[in-house]
Chain A
Amino acid sequence: MESIEKIRAAHKVLAEFHYSPPKIERGYANQTLYVNLSGKVIASKPVDEKMKRTFTGGRGFGLWLLWNAVNGNTRWDDPENEVILSSGPLGGTTSYPGAGKSIAVSLSPLTGTVIDSNVGGHFGPLLKFSGWDAIEVQGQADQEVIVFVDGNKGLVQIIAAPEEATDSYELAEQIVELFAEQPEEKAAISSVSSGPAAEHALMGCLNVSFYDPRRRFVRLKQAGRGGIGTVLRHKKVKALVVKYAGVKADSNAPADWKELAQVGSKMHREIHDQDPIMNNMRSYGTTMLVSIMNDFDLLPVNNFRFGSHPEAKGLYKSEFRKYTTLGIPDGCWYGCTLACARCVERLQPRTGPYKGQWVHVDGPEYETIAGVGSNCGIFDAHAVLEINFYCDMYGIDTISFGTATAFAMECYEAGILNKERTGGLDLHFGNAEAVLELLHQMARGEGFGTVVGKGVRRMKKLFVEKYGADPQFLQDIGMECKGLEYSEYVSKESVAQQGGYGLANKGPQHDEAWLIFMDAVTKQIPTFEDKAEALHYFPMFRTWFGLNGLCKLPWNDVEPADNKKRYPPRIAARVPEHVENYVRLFRAITGREDVKEPEDLIRMSEAVYNFQRIFNLKMGFGTREHDAVPYRSMGPVTVEEYESRAERYDQQLRELVGIDPAGKSTAEKMAALRAYRQQRYESLIDAVYKRRGWTSEGIPTLETVKRLGIDYPDVVALLQKHHQ
């Protein structure tokens, strides 16, 4: 531990703040922590009843704090921008599965507007138990720092931290060594950090840690989306660290422990009985999705051109199971019995700084497998694990990295890029070695890796300006919306999911809505009104998890045995008994007796959801033109794509468009299909805006914001300006 002593010796406390840790009351600490790195200011901000009622917590608190910190001209790299983490009133609950999430909020380097990204690990709950509903980090340090919160002592420090590693795994281990006074305290520590590539790419992720007492090392979970890690590194923050020892069943101070214990143990039992015969998340986690997506032609292959591939079985769950160890399902917060986390304890990278050494990595999750695997034409589990490891280690979002790399690969195969332009890299689909080299370059801040690190939107512009690429073609194949790279589902056959992606506040991430089966397979929502209702209910309901520090998985990745028998399909998709659990859970913790029925949860979300839409407007986005999606997400862009599924498309032309495909060229058929699908997308948008109480330009009306209680003077002024 000589090196730890050397690291510690280089620490210098730059600012210090003492506080009396408040008693947690029904899920809230009732204050947030404000840290300004420029002025070395540390302060407490009160959380009042209005803030709790309007924004609930988590993502809602993050949005409200950031709204008050920035103006419409603030850019991601301005000191005014913040990195905010908050769990939510139910976050830190140990006795209901999936209740340990943190939600990070910031202005995104990729989109230029507000982003939110949720993550497991222990940070948010420990932060709350330390006395803070949220941490808000503003300003920019003039040297590398750690922000340290000791929730037992009531101490916050900004510490100069010149010697710590930036390598995420090494750093997280150093932090537990530095801040745990006894070995037992390691589990009391959680850190938020990014990595070296986040200094050179706009898609930096946050790594949030938790200590694994069985394996005796630190594991990392990622808030991947939108480049919040890039913001953190730009602020010269090596890590945000919280230490709180003494987590108990009543740390979150529930109003009704009896009710909480009942609903919690009922849910554990249901998972015990149902998970093995349903998704088996406890054994395979989200890797179980790969085969399903491939079977339904929804697994992105070669930049979303196709939805399946004969070699996809190389990425099936059994291929990853070979690498996972210990055989005990484990969660990323106490009491998560859905336990989708998996750890590969021994992986030997074939490239990069860890070549030939043994490393460990969590996951991979479905999104990573599809993003850096099939979507880049890679069907080798080891390669996926290695890319996953280096993405986490360097602090890079696997989703944006996968989708951006797939785009560059298609540009390479289309002749827009060549070896000269990529600095010698052969970016054909399937070249895992080249993909890894892109990552290593990103971490070193050199070569074509830094170009990919700018994301799809900036690459499109660059390739048009520099290489004379056809802008329409790049617009069609560049899988981004609002500047954020698509997450990993092929939405071509589901107009509702096209909207699920295109209308998502932060950009195309599936955490707002996943409607593909309901729309395209089981056809439960045939009319635009049905689809609009689904695009109201599900985004609102899913938003609710992010307000409360909850994970979405225990909602519908396991179901009560009688769910499908008790309810008609459209209602069963909502899993009514679990929604009822959440009403009970919310009441049991917050004691709020006005929350009685599922609709009350939707109303909570609606205020925050609309507020986020208006935040986009404040930042110069948030109107209909920004909900436009690339045609690759709607239908076949190339002849090859059309002809690969010609039977399906020809049939649709006959039956839906009313055009006889016989005797027509592929180009003619593609044009007809495209006109039809684009028209349907516009019709969908009209219906959804109407259902959500927005104008035809996609702006919430004054009546809507009044109804939702978010008619703050600056909100009203902003809307009035746009409505004029």
Chain B
Amino acid sequence: MKVLVFKPELCNGCRICEETCAQTWFKETNAEKSAIRICESPEEPGHYCAVVCNQCGECMDVCPTLALRRDKHGIVRLSKTLCVGCLSCVGFCPSEAMFVHADYTAPFKCVTCGKCVEACPTGALEVQDMPPVALTETEKRMKVVA
């Protein structure tokens, strides 16, 4: 399972990852359209954290239309055809890493494409191969039904 991993000790807060992500998926450098968000710690200026999907799959269980599914690489992907824009996943993401923007009715998330990894000047981002996580209730049920 490929997951984008953030190394806070290497981040300098340049936000090139945000611009790259928005450019890759929405063809503009608006950070509000990025699936990764860098935030500076209010307590420790100069220290950063990243809000980004860890592919846990919890959103799959809150989706009423089965629009969120895991692909063969373990990446949770949203089907825009099935999505009804309810935003349940936005409210229920444990990492708050499902985003919505006023220009679009479907939410968006990191699919571990790796473009930000290539663009990061300090090596603070990396795609890692992680062991698969436990199946969600939805996945268990779909297996039974199949």
Identify the B interface with A (CB < 8 A). Answer: 61-62, 64-66, 83-88, 90-92, 100, 102, 105-106, 137-138, 141-142, 145
Contacts and interface: CB of A to CB of B under 8 A. Distances in A.
A330 interface: yes
Interface stretch (A42-50, A64-72, A256-264): A256-264
A214 B138 contact: yes
8 contacts: A248-B84, A248-B85, A249-B85, A261-B102, A264-B91, A267-B91, A269-B90, A337-B92
B86 A95 contact: yes
A187 B141 CA distance: 18
Contact of B87 (A95, A247, A270): A95
A125 to B, nearest CB: 10
A683 interface: no
A577 to B, nearest CB: 16
Nearest to B96: A269
Given A261-B100, A265-B100, A326-B141, A213 B88 contact: no
Contacts of A265: 87, 90-91, 100
A465 B124 CA distance: 87
B22 to A, nearest CB: 17
B90 A247 contact: no
Interface string A272-307: 100000000000000000000000000000000000
Contact of B85 (A214, A250, A270, A326): A250
Interface string A644-659: 0000000000000000
Given A250-B85, A328-B137, A334 B65 contact: yes
The 9 closest A-B pairs by CB, nearest first: A249-B85, A268-B91, A335-B86, A258-B102, A249-B105, A94-B86, A269-B91, A265-B90, A95-B87
Contact of B92 (A94, A213, A268, A331): A268
A328 B102 contact: no
Contacts of A334: 64-65, 84, 86
Contact of A327 (B64, B65, B137): B137
A268 B52 CA distance: 19
Contacts of B137: 326-328
Nearest to B91: A268
Contact of A331 (B64, B91, B106, B138): B64
A266 B92 CA distance: 10
A271 B86 CA distance: 14
A122 to B, nearest CB: 11
A563 to B, nearest CB: 18
B104 to A, nearest CB: 9
B66 A335 contact: no
Given A257-B102, A269-B91, 16 more contacts: A95-B85, A187-B65, A248-B83, A248-B105, A249-B105, A251-B84, A258-B102, A261-B87, A270-B91, A326-B137, A328-B61, A328-B62, A329-B62, A330-B64, A334-B84, A335-B88
A664 interface: no
A367 to B, nearest CB: 25
B79 to A, nearest CB: 12
A249 B145 contact: no
A249 B86 contact: yes
Contacts of A187: 65
Contacts, number: 83
A28 B37 CA distance: 37
Contacts of A250: 85, 105
Given A249-B105, A257-B105, A94 B85 contact: yes
Given A94-B85, A94-B86, A268-B90, A335 B102 contact: no
Nearest to A247: B84
Contact of A335 (B61, B64, B100): B64
Given A248-B85, A334-B65, A335-B87, A214 B141 contact: yes
A326 B87 CA distance: 22
Contacts of A266: 91
A216 interface: yes
Nearest to A251: B84
Interface residues of A, number: 33
A281 to B, nearest CB: 14
A268 B141 contact: no
Which among B84, B87, B90, B100 has the highest number of chain A CB atoms within 10 Å? B87
A169 to B, nearest CB: 19
A204 B62 CA distance: 34
Nearest to A337: B88
A591 to B, nearest CB: 16
A251 B106 CA distance: 13
A318 B83 CA distance: 34
Which among B66, B88, B90 has the highest number of chain A CB atoms within 10 Å? B88
Nearest to A270: B91
Nearest to A264: B87
A266 B100 CA distance: 12
Given A216-B145, A326-B137, A330-B64, A268 B88 contact: yes
A271 B89 CA distance: 12
Nearest to A93: B86
B141 A213 contact: no
A688 B86 CA distance: 40
Contacts of B84: 94, 247-249, 251, 334-335
Interface string A239-259: 000000001111100000110
A269 B88 CA distance: 8
B142 to A, nearest CB: 8
Contacts of A327: 137
Contact of B66 (A213, A269, A271): A213
Contacts of B85: 94-95, 248-250
Nearest to B64: A334
A251 B85 CA distance: 10
A418 B71 CA distance: 66
B145 A272 contact: no
Contacts of B66: 213-214
A267 B88 CA distance: 9
Contacts of B105: 248-250, 257
Contacts of B91: 264-272, 337
B23 to A, nearest CB: 22
Nearest to B62: A337
A718 to B, nearest CB: 44
Interface string A513-535: 00000000000000000000000
A255 B134 CA distance: 41
Contacts of B87: 94-95, 249, 261, 264-265, 268, 335
B102 A272 contact: no
A271 B102 CA distance: 22
Contacts of B100: 261, 265
Contacts of B142: 214
A316 to B, nearest CB: 24
Nearest to B99: A265
A268 B100 CA distance: 13
A327 to B, nearest CB: 5
Contacts of B83: 248-249
Contacts of A335: 64, 84, 86-88
Nearest to A249: B85
Nearest to A267: B91
Interface in A570-604: none
A286 B19 CA distance: 46
A18 B106 CA distance: 32
B91 to A, nearest CB: 2
